Amino acid sequence: MDYKQKLQQLRIQIDQIDEEILKLLNKRAQLAKEVGEIKKEHKLPIYVPSREQAIFQRLEELNKKYGEIFPTDYIKPVFREIISACRSTEENLKVAYLGPRATFTHQAAMEHFGQAVEFIPVQTIKDVFEEITKEKADFGVVPVENTIEGIVNYTLDLLVDYPLKITGEVILEISLHLMGINPNINEIQRVYSHRHALAECREWLMKNLPQAQLIEVESTAKAAEMAKDDYEAAAVASEAAADIYGLHIIERKIDRHTHNYTRFLIIGKDIPPPTGNDKTTFVFSLKNQVGALYKTLEPLYKHGINMTKIESRPSKKEAWDYIFFTDIEGHISEEKVKNALNELNELSPFFKILGSYPKAH
């Protein structure tokens, strides 16, 4: 048997497997639809992140038994889209995010929910909170901190002001890529992007595209939209922009920062059930007395709770008065977490649980 015959046989087998996968996907979607009907009948939430997390973990472990010929790192992205598509047969989930399309916040939203949801781009972080409060969206996605720029204080303030909860988090590497409809870098005459993105990538662009004209536009998303109609142009934008506008990524990660990550919060109305790998975020204030911070945090030490972050913000009530945003390991339903926070609450003039949710992977 020559290589052409062998190749043909292998392709026939792949086609048969693809058909079987498609049949099973339809069977899975039908079962998801039946689950959705039961949930609606009993007024249960359609989106349960703890259940989805358990599915990913089980399949990643299972894949090791099959020799990991299919890379384990791709189990979650593949099954996230399968789950997202099946969930859409139960209900049309609406997710608001800080727009426009193809921004890093949009990318974080897609990474968390998959693409089979209705994404609603809005103009401000406050608008994301408003969409959920007014029941125009089920969930929202907002940036909260960046490894280079620091905390997004406005997001923290809104978490205090609105009766919403953090239901999840996404940690996204902020990488800028060169992309275009023409994959040949030697034919690129123009590069579109936002001025900050161009500044971030100027060193690479000067070295590799010295002849190209650098053109500032209002956003990286707009740059990608313009590049898709210009064969001699490229854009500097996010991976989401390449997906949405159908562009080739000509060169990956051309920005100068090598460790640039942003943490995004998923916000909704209810605290999700525990997954076994959770964190809790809360805010508290202090009494005006010596050693107040030490005394207030003592219940965490007493109950063996690991605090992973604390951030102070002016309370906006009086001069030099602060509130503290705090992350700890564990879920509010766990006995030791519940007891520690009850004690901390008694010691604080102001205390609010902002969310208990699965940790980002």
Q: Angle at the Cα of 39 (from 33 to 40), degrees rounded to 5?
A: 90
Residue 159, φ and ψ in degrees, nearest 5: -65, -30
pLDDT surpasses 90 at 137: yes
Q: Which of 24, 57, 89 is the last residue of a domain?
A: 89
Compute the distance between CA of residue 203 and CA of residue 258 in angstroms, rounded to an integer: 14
Compute the distance between CA of residue 24 and CA of residue 107 in angstroms, rounded to an integer: 28
pTM, entire model: 0.84
State whether 330 and 297 are in the same domain: yes
**Do the domain assignments include residue 256?**
no
Compute the distance between CA of residue 145 and CA of residue 22 in angstroms, rounded to an integer: 40
At 318 the pLDDT is 61
Model confidence pLDDT, tens digit, residues 226-246: 999 999 999 999 998 998 999
Model confidence pLDDT, tens digit, residues 299-324: 999 999 999 999 988 876 664 468 89
State whether 99 and 81 are in the same domain: no
At 212 the pLDDT is 95
Write out the residue range of the structural domain in which residue 225 sits: 177-251
Model confidence pLDDT, tens digit, residues 249-290: 999 999 988 788 999 999 999 999 998 899 999 999 988 777
b/e 317-356 (16+ beta carbons within 10 angstroms → b): eeeeeebbbbbbbbbbebeebeebbebbbebbeebebbbb
Find the CATH number of the domain harbouring 298: 3.30.70.260
Average pLDDT for the chain: 92
At 150 the pLDDT is 83
Positive or negative, the CA dihedral 139, 145, 146, 151 is positive
Residue (of 133, 125, 184) closest to 157 by Cα position: 125
Compute the distance between CA of residue 263 and CA of residue 307 in angstroms, rounded to an integer: 17
Find the CATH number of the domain harbouring 181: 3.40.190.10
- Residue ranges of the alpha helices (H) in the chain? 3-41, 49-65, 75-90, 104-113, 125-133, 153-161, 195-208, 220-227, 239-245, 292-302, 335-347
State whether 160 and 197 are in the same domain: no
| Number of structural domains in the chain | 4
Q: Which of 74, 89, 104 is the last residue of a domain?
A: 89
Model confidence pLDDT, tens digit, residues 49-89: 888 888 999 999 999 999 999 999 999 999 999 999 998 88
Residue (of 291, 295, 278) closest to 330 by Cα position: 278
State whether 55 and 77 are in the same domain: yes
pLDDT surpasses 60 at 188: yes
Model confidence pLDDT, tens digit, residues 144-161: 998 887 888 899 999 999
Task: Give whichever of 15-24, 36-45, 290-299, 317-326 has the largest mean pLDDT.
Answer: 15-24
Strands 165-173 and 150-151: unpaired
